[in-house]
Structure formats: C-alpha cells, structure tokens
Amino acid sequence: MGSMQDSLPITWRPETGEHDTEYERARVGRVFNHRRPKRYPRAIVEATQESHIVDAVQLANRLGCRVSVRSGGHSWAAWSVREDAVLIDLGAYHHLELNAAETEAIVSPSTTGRVLNTYLGEKGLLFAGGHCPDVGVGGFLLQGGMGWNCKNWGWACEQVTAIDIVNAQGEQLHCNSTENSDYYWAARGAGPGFPGVVTKFYLRLRRSYSNMLSSAFIYPISCYKEVMDWVVALAPTCDDDTEIVAVAAYPPPESGIQHQPCIMPLLLTFKNDEDEARTALKPANSTRPPGALVELVNQPTSLLNEYRNQAAANPLGHRYCAENAYIKNDEDVAAVLEEAFCTLPHPKAFSLWYSMNPCSRRPLPDMALSMQSDHYFALYTIWEHESDDRRCQNWVQNVMKGVERHSEGAYLGDADFQVRRTKFWADENASRLMAIRQKLDPDGRICGYLDIDDGSGVNGLANQHEWTSA
C-alpha cells in the first residue's frame, strides 16, 4: 500500500480469524457500552494528528471500503464499530485552544465535556456540553447536543460557529454558514449520518457561574403521580438559568434509602449571586409535595461536582440499553411514563424526564436539528451480566411500545436504529439532509446510520414512525 499506509497508526483485522488482543483493544476498548457488537472493521486508525484522518479516508477510498468514526465512544449502539470499514478512532487526537478574544474554543471531537470545562473554568468560561463527563463533543454536537440547561440556553449545536472536516473524498475543508455551508447545516443535527469526518469544532462560549445551587427531593415511587404532575407543571415557570429533571432510580447508598425505587425531582441553577440562586429555586422549594424521604435544599455545587454525580449514575464497565422519545406537548406525561418510571428492571437502571420548555417553543435556527417538544424522556437501562441482556432489552422494547404512540419522535443520541424506527427530524429537514448526504457522499464512503443489517447506505433513514402502520 506504500509509504503513506506505513506511517499511519493502524491496526488491521487478523486474517486468520483468531483472537488478536491488540485488534480487540483497538476495535472496542473505547466503547463505553460493554454490550459490545459482533462487527469487525477491516482496520482501525488511531489518529494522533489531522493528517492521519486525511490519510485514513484516502486509504478507504483506495480499498473501496467505508469509513466510520469514534469520538468519545459513548454511542449506546456502538455506531463506530462497522463491518469491514476503516474505523478512525479520534481518542488520541487532541486539540484545545481559545481564540484571541477568548469568546470561542476550537476543539477536537474526542474532547470530553469535563476536560473542556476544566480548561475553560480556569478562564471564567463555560461551554454547555453533555451532562455525562466523558462524552466526546463530536457525537454529542453532531446529534444536536442536549447539554446543560438546554431548556433555556438552547441546543449546544447552536453554538457551533464553524467546523473543519475531511470530506468523503479525503479533502480538508473549512465550513461555516457561508463557506461549504451544506456541511455546516448538516453538522448541526445529522448525527452519525454526517457525510464527512469533523476534525475541529469552533464553539461560542459563555461566562461561567460562581454560585450554582441545587435542590433535590427523593420520594417513594408510590408518590409518582403527584410528584410528576407537580414537576411537569412547575418546569415552564422556572428561572431562565435553572434546569429541572425528574428521575426514577434507586437512590445512591449515601442517601440512606435502601433497596427501593424512588421518584426524584432535581433542580440546578446557574448564578453568580447566592441570593439570586436561592430566589431561582424558591418556587420549587416552597411548593414541593409532602412526603419526601430526603430533602436537599439549596445545596452549593459546581459543574465539576455535577460531573461526578453524572459519572456515578453512568458507571464504567456495564452493559447499557438506551431509548428515548419526545412526548407530545398536550399529553398527560405522568400517565404516559408511569410504566417506565415505576417498573425499573435493575437497581442501576433509571428513567429520566427532562423539561425542554421554553427552548421547545421557539423557532430553531436553520440547521438539520429540528425535532423537539416540551417533554424529553429517556430510559437508561444498566446491568452487569450478559445473562440479563434479553430481560433488560425486552423491558425497554415493551415500555417503548406504549410510550412511542404519544411521541413526536426521538433524539438521535439515545437511539438505536437497529431496534426502533421513528422520526428524528421535521419532514422538510430530513428530506434536505438525505439529499445533502447523497450529493456530498454519493458513494456512501462514510458509514452513516446503522440500521437493520446496516443497509441504509447513502439513502439514510426514512424518518417515519414505524408503529403508525402497526
């Protein structure tokens, strides 16, 4: 293959079919979900610089095989691991800098939220990235980015001002609203269907917050309906710097509550003044329903502390099955989500409702991302042993059969196209996105959407509710 290939940090699939420890490490070592796929790339390129990405795409073109990309490895369905593809792993490719005015960060895709905000925090800055600390910004931003306080501050991808990419032909391009604009439009919401490999994101920043407070209330699951009705009604009235979620989970051991599922409203406010933070949380603190087992009111916190809490809720070395839906605005949310919240199949699993109003009520910028509602719902089913796979996955599928009929569609980031087909974009945006993919990557060089038998190719997803014909 010549000297270019020799200079690449590349691991080839063994020809003999025998187990190869180094190949397995490169194939799935950075896949967060330990429910690892039985798909085998032809080669894995562990890029450490931009030229490796260019060379890898050009190599795939010469070989006539597809390209897949791994940023943080947090895709629940392991979209990066594709049969007979050249997998470009960006975990060792690092770029993180501020522009001269310190209004914008320029970052490589595998940069995690915790690394980015630790760096920015030292300079009094913040980027509202993903809640889970080890999620890379690459997949997160391409899917839209439901980040910190998304309900008020908007989608993280709205803060992407430009991208650098390697396109399907192996060319380097800079893309923004006026230059290579089809790529820029698609990058904000295409998810794994983006027809290129992003090498850098240019991110608009905000000032950080010095007086973050949280309030959390833990109720027995028997209080589910009263608590959920309260939090759903409260959320749209909350302060503009306050996010609010409701989680069904088994509380952590430090709570003192043992062996019982609970419903937990959680509020987090971002302020620079303690009195303002207390005022922001007062409507929830003063109207919360009676009967809580634990009440944690106006607790000082920080983004790094919140990252620690998120890491504890999403443990390493476990098996995961995630699903989600945007519940229609006029639905009875408590009734729709009752089974999901009240029948958790494992003590480490949790269900989440995330308020999206008022972000969900305003027009979005012109970009691929176009699906949202007032109510975001997700299941994160977590377990340790392969023997539990069928039971836990069946629970997710059975719950979603009831939930999805009350939904507008779903978020790419918590989806698996191999299992459930639904809508991810407004119809017009989906049609435009699939046309852009076909124009910019006519040979289907970039793997795209992993559906049943990985067959969607350059055509992409149908963007249809599968269940409507059932």
Torsion of CA 379, 383, 386, 388, to 10 degrees: -70
What is the DSSP code string of 394-453? HHHHHHHHHHGGGEEE--GGG--TTT-----S-HHHHHHHHHHHHHH-TT--B-----GG
| Secondary structure of 216-246 as H, E, C letters | EEEEEHHHHHHHHHHHHHHHHHCCCCEEEEE
CB 354 within 8 A of CB 337: no
Q: Which domains does the chain have, with CATH numbers?
A: 3-89 (3.30.43.10), 96-207 (3.30.465.10), 212-414 (3.40.462.20)
Which are the contacts of 192, defined by CB distance < 8 A and separation ≥ 6? 75, 79, 139, 142, 412, 447, 448, 449, 450
Q: Could you tell me the sign of the dihedral formed by the alpha carbons of 249, 254, 260, 263, in that order?
A: negative
For residue 194, give both structure tokens: 């983006």
Q: pTM for this structure?
A: 0.95
- Per-residue pLDDT tens, the chain, 470 aa: give them: 344 555 899 999 998 777 899 999 999 999 999 999 999 999 999 999 999 999 999 999 999 999 999 999 999 999 999 999 999 999 999 999 999 999 999 999 999 999 999 999 999 999 999 999 999 999 999 999 999 999 999 999 999 999 999 999 999 999 999 999 999 999 999 999 999 999 999 999 999 999 999 999 999 999 999 999 999 999 999 999 999 999 999 998 887 887 899 999 999 999 999 999 999 999 999 999 999 999 999 999 999 999 999 999 999 999 999 999 999 999 999 999 999 999 999 999 999 999 999 999 999 999 999 999 999 999 999 999 999 999 999 999 999 999 999 999 999 999 999 999 999 999 999 999 999 999 999 999 999 999 999 999 999 999 998 764 43
Helix locations, 8-63, DSSP H: 21-28, 50-63
How far is the first Cα of the chain from the last one, in angstroms, to the nearest whole number?
A: 51
Q: 323: which strand partners?
A: 379
- Determine the Cα–Cα distance for residues 243 and 269; give it in Å rounded to an integer: 6
